[in-house]
Chains A and B, each alone.
Chain A
């Protein structure tokens, strides 16, 4: 599904951040990426999604055989790549519901499908909002406008539920969530996940992984994946921290 080969990337000012990432993600898999602050986790998600602040120095990213790096940001999304932002921005004046519908119709147009019907949109929105226990006021508000940190993260997962991406890169979706919200968001992720999709989670804590069980855990350090393992690796990191890995690296 997603194949990342020797991906190198820099900030536009020339600061190199990713120094050769290799990662293979298959349908049905959940991968967790952990690492110290500044190791390149968020950069990885942004580079794959096509954020304009970064420059790809080398390597490749293919999604189902298609070269994502040759596409613009919207085409990558339309191919099924979804990024849940660590800090979702607020866009006042763009109503949440209108935005969601435009996004869905854009993706449908890309796939040469007709626009979503009122009925289908309403049904899917209602069920996704119910799944994520979202307040009805959400419908009337601007995109993330005045949302708390937790509400923004919940809204990201709502978008994921509505857009049904092939692969979702969730960047610290658990930060800013209280205990109940964490459970709700995790349930949402598990509900969306099926054998045809994949999820990459970036997290600092085991608590999210208690709810969303990863098949693989990777440690990113100074722009490279320096260690990969199973779910037990996250437990070890929780217990011992990163010193033992950074010393080896």
Chain B
């Protein structure tokens, strides 16, 4: 697959600002990537794009690299990531962690019918400036998957994570993503609600500081009737941090009873912080309910005054309000595993942000 991935990237070219999927990303930082790609040795032989014993991708699922348009989805494979494949048995109940083996990683999960899985994605702690990761997840009928991750990239680092999730009938996937970073990060994903009554939920909290630059590019495709999806994102941006959210919901022609929502709330703690939000709705059916909203502002001066009027210091008032704003992302999420850990990270992060 590596050969195909490299060839596809070279065919697509390094993204430019005018490319819709990369509008908000600081593409100048991809120069390093271009250099690294040129040094890659392209394997002489071609491995098939469709799964086989050689690629370890579980049959009957396939990775459609030939039609891939986002190079972030191709990067780990192009850089030679070995595919880790994991199958969860039917009706199994499992909790686990997934740790990238290298700075470039590719993982394929097949979750069996009725299984319940909670998975923490550990961050790629490679001290190299560049790291990429791809996850392909196939969720069986009536199965449930919880994914959560807490990322802390160092300043100067560039991190890519791409996921592609396929949901069968009656299945549920919940993703909770906490980023406390000074790095440049791009999370891209394609979610395919392929079975009737499937449900996808994405929650994200970005606590960015320094020169952090985090970007989400998410495509949720409703491909069957009575599916639901929600996106709930909160950003607390300090210093010269920048965040963008480009979230699309695409509802197919026969997707009766679709429910989808997208809400992005941002608080700019510093005057130099920036946010860009782009909601996209492509709806090809009448009987649907799709909402989107976006707010941006600073911490509410009246709230700070109220807390101070009871004796709470200005710094603590800031911290209390930031925590209240941030915690809603975590509290409303049913993932119990790791919540304490996430809250600890949150507290430490807020202490760092409130000093600014």
| A72 adjacent to B314 (CB under 8 Å) | yes
Cβ contact within 8 Å between B313 and A106: yes
How many A-B pairs have beta carbons closer than 8 Å: the answer is 73
Chain B CB count within 10 A is highest, among A72, A106, A159, for A106
| B351 lies within 8 A of chain A by Cβ | no
Q: Is the CB of B316 within 8 A of A102?
A: yes
The reply to whether the CB of B341 lies closer than 8 angstroms to some CB of chain A is no
CB neighbours of A82 from chain B (8 A): 309
Partner of A93, one of B301, B312, B313, B324: B324
Contact status B311-A94, CB under 8 Å: no
B302:A163 contact, CB within 8 angstroms: no
Q: Is B320 located at the chain interface by the 8 A CB criterion?
A: yes
Instruction: Give the interface size class of chain A.
Output: 20 to 34
Contact A106 B312 (CB under 8 A): yes
Which residue of B302, B308, B321, B327 contacts A72 across the interface (Cβ within 8 Å)? B308
Is the contact region of chain B dominated by helix, strand, or loop, or is it mixed? helix
> Contact between B327 and A93 (Cβ–Cβ < 8 Å)?
yes
- Nearest CB in chain A: distance from B236 CB, A: 13
Tally chain B residues at the interface, Cβ within 8 Å: 23
The reply on A77 being an interface residue by CB < 8 A is: yes
B316-356: CB near A (< 8 Å → 1, else 0) gives: 11001101110110000000000000000000000000000
| B322 CB, nearest partner CB in chain A, Å | 10
Contacts of B310 in A (CB 8 A): 74, 77, 99, 103, 106, 159, 163
The residue of chain A having its C-beta at the shortest distance from the C-beta of B317 within the complex is A74
Q: Are A52 and B314 in touch, CB under 8 angstroms?
A: no
Residues of B within 8 A of A86 (CB): none
Chain A positions within 8 Å of B, measured between CB atoms, are 49-52, 72-74, 76-78, 82-83, 85, 88-89, 91-94, 99, 102-103, 106-107, 110, 142, 159, 163
Rank and list the top 10 A-B pairs by shortest CB-CB distance, nearest first: A93-B324, A73-B308, A103-B310, A77-B311, A106-B311, A107-B311, A74-B308, A78-B311, A94-B324, A106-B312
Residues in chain B within 8 A of chain A (CB atoms):
300-303, 305-314, 316-317, 320-321, 323-325, 327-328
